[in-house]
Amino acid sequence: MTAITDLTVINPATDATITTLAADTPASVSEVCEAAAAASAAWGQETAFARAAMLQAAAARIRADVDQIAGVITTESGKPILEAQFEVQWAADVFDFYAGIARSRGGRVAPAASPTTTNLVLRTPLGVVGAIVPWNYPVLLWAWKAAPALAAGNCVIAKPSPETPLSLPAVVAHLDLPKFVHNIVQGGSEVGDALVGDARIDKVAFTGSAAVGKQVLVRCAEQAKRSTVEMSGHDAMIVWDDCDIDLAVQATLFATFTNGGQVCTAAERIYVRDTIYDSFVARFTQAAQKLSVGDPFDPHNDVGPLVSRAHRDRIARYIADAAAHGARIETGGSAINGPGAYFSPTVLTGLSHEAMNGLGEIFGPVAPIVPIASFEEGIAKANDNRFGLSAHVVVRDLGLAMRAARDLRAGTVWINNPLMDNLAAPFGGFREAGIGRELGEEGFDAYTESKHVWIEHELAEQYWWFEGRKAMVAALAG
Ligand code: NAD
């Protein structure tokens, strides 16, 4: 566990220091937990309509200030400005969506247990939610947690990644909620761990790496604390030979190089039908070479820098390991000289399926392509992985598409349109990619506790109570 006292924020496009801010400490995290716990009773008792109205007003303010918030994301993470703007708009949409869900999802009436009974199932807030987020979508992945948690009547304490500590305050400034209903703590693993370990935190919602997610799961299990963990991905893309090959190239390019490949659901194992493999690799390599890499504020650029020089070194090590396992570099493969954490979009061939699995998650602008002889082989290889966050398929044949939908063991299956989220549908992973779901009605229920209320319409003697039993025994005795 590393204790960070100051967070130095670097612009990865220029290497310039943007600012330095003080990190929280376990003691200050404890104070925030106390304040949030104290605020949670009143927030939980607001009507769903009042909370929904506040969240919708926040969404409108966020939407009105997209450019400013997106600018902060781009400055500290290197995300291309258009993608940062989309991210902020989607985050506003999440607040609107959960305002709507909160208005309509108030529990249910269970079938009555007797003619004199009413049985209610109430959805009650959990209390205080600790929301721990990574750097690659610092606003969107927070919104997936904070919006449903707040809509359901919980207070939130969010912890951004130390790589991107400025984006969250930039968007949270638009919430305008009662004091201590939404809070931010800043820092690294020590601060995250203090949040997870605090008894006043009723649920932890985590997105990040599998290594850290598993530690969070263990800490939550020790405390019987609720948790949702979204972890790493190492997702497959199957490209079948009945599609327009140039469109298939474009779809795969988007699935691999969006946000410089720093997407948990990026296509990182690309399985292409052997009949079109050579042609696909040639066209894909050419298209990757045409991607313009540069200043993330220039909307003409497709790919910005990686989030940091340290992360770029990680990607360079991946390429070296891949080469040692027989990978051929079709294009790219190295850092771009000069200021900033830029890395060339890279295409690899020659890796075996086993070697790709052994090398693990990439999280960078690298596309390993492997031939497959049959659709079944593609599905089997896609499924043969520790993770199962998502899977992408480009295919025209409806029968094959439906087979992929049925047989791929992943939380999301994208057919002919990669990386699309639908707020109304759940997102999450199979196997080591995570436990639990965000988005959809599932993503709201995850921030509530079900409570059964039995209402007997009148207080009356029941035959199984002690007096009733005596009467029954006496009657039986004759
Ligand atoms: P990370 O696991 O290093 O950090 C994630 C967050 O956890 C950060 O805020 C970090 O400070 C915090 N943290 C670190 N140690 C902690 C501890 N002991 N206790 C509590 N919190 C702690 O991940 P990252 O490098 O920020 O993000 C990249 C990873 O996130 C990739 O593996 C990627 O696949 C994954 N990711 C997953 C999804 C998904 O939805 N499944 C989405 C985006 C990113």
pLDDT tens, residue order, the chain (478 aa): 777 889 999 999 999 999 999 999 999 999 999 999 999 999 999 999 999 999 999 999 999 999 999 999 999 999 999 999 999 999 999 999 999 999 999 899 999 999 999 999 999 999 999 999 999 999 999 999 999 999 999 999 999 999 999 999 999 999 999 999 999 999 999 999 999 999 999 999 999 999 999 999 999 999 999 999 999 999 999 999 999 999 999 999 999 999 999 999 999 999 999 999 999 999 999 999 999 999 999 999 999 999 999 999 999 999 999 999 999 999 999 999 999 999 999 999 999 999 999 999 999 999 999 999 999 999 999 999 999 999 999 999 999 999 999 999 999 999 999 999 999 999 999 999 999 999 999 999 999 999 999 999 999 999 999 999 999 999 999 8
Ligand 1 geometric centre to CA of 162 (Å): 10
Q: Which two tokens stand for residue 23?
A: 């990190």
- Residue 52 CA to residue 49 CA, distance in Å, equals 5
Ligand 1 site: residues with CB under 6 angstroms? 132-137, 141, 159, 161-162, 188-189, 192-193, 196, 207-209, 212, 215-216, 230-233, 264, 361, 363, 389, 429, 433-434
Of 305, 299, 341, 343, the C-alpha closest to 85 is 299
What is the sign, positive or negative, of the torsion defined by CA atoms of 471, 476, 477, 478?
positive
Among 166, 186, 212, 363, say which to mutate for ligand 1: greatest number of ligand atoms within 8 Å of CB: 212
Q: At what angle do helices 48-64 and 66-77 cross, to 10 degrees?
A: 70
- Residue 130 CA to residue 142 CA, distance in Å, equals 11
Exposed e or buried b for every residue in 153-179, given b needs 16+ CB within 10 A? bbbbbbbbbbbbbbbbebbbebbebee
- Residue 409 CA to residue 450 CA, distance in Å, equals 29
Cβ(140)–Cβ(94) under 8 Å? yes
Position in ligand 1 atom list of the atom nearest CA 135: 26
Q: At what angle do helices 81-104 and 48-64 cross, to 10 degrees?
A: 170
**pTM, to two decimals:** 0.97
Measured CA to CA in angstroms, residue 281 lies from 167, 242, 350 at distances of 37, 16, 11
